[in-house]
Structure 1
Amino acid sequence: MTTTEVRELSGRARAMLRAVEAGRAEFSGGREPDLYVDGLPCCDQSATHDLVRAGLLRPSAPAGYGQRVRAELTEEGRNALRTA
């Protein structure tokens, strides 16, 4: 995801960021974290991976394979959500 794409978040990406901001999201442990919202797997894991790579989302703590930890917005993620 490029800087331009971060500034132009899709509706789905904004919804994902809002769910994380509301404390409704978790990441699973693994090589690339998968996002769960309200206990269910997110329908667009490639968007999740893009948001993580762009530095907008991160796990709140290290997680082992199969474990889940709270997802959190980075400062960049909060800024992106405010300007989206």
Structure 2
Amino acid sequence: MNITAQNTFTTPVLVQAGNSFDISISGTFVASVVLQRSKDQVTWMDVETNTAPVEKTGSAGSAWYFRLGIKTGGYTSGTVAADIFD
């Protein structure tokens, strides 16, 4: 998903307990890209913030929804290509 504005997030992905997931952040941008998790898809908690392109693998200790995006105030310019895969 290409992100070019603040308060924009990928579609949440449900990662079951013990499973891993991959995140991909690429593009040319000035922004803070946040990985968030939630149990109910209503209340989201920040896990980490990236300000540069990155490829990472994470894991879930219990079932969580994860998403990537830019919160209000976190976008300056450019295009972020953000993807999360389970």
- Asked if TM exceeds 0.5, the reply is no
TM-score (norm 2): 0.29
- Relative to its length, the structure with more helix (as a share) is 1
Normalising by structure 1, we get a TM-score of 0.30
- Report which of the two has the higher share of strand: 2
Larger RCO (alpha carbons 8 Å, 6+ apart): 2
Work out which of the two has the higher radius of gyration on C-alpha atoms and give 1 or 2.
2
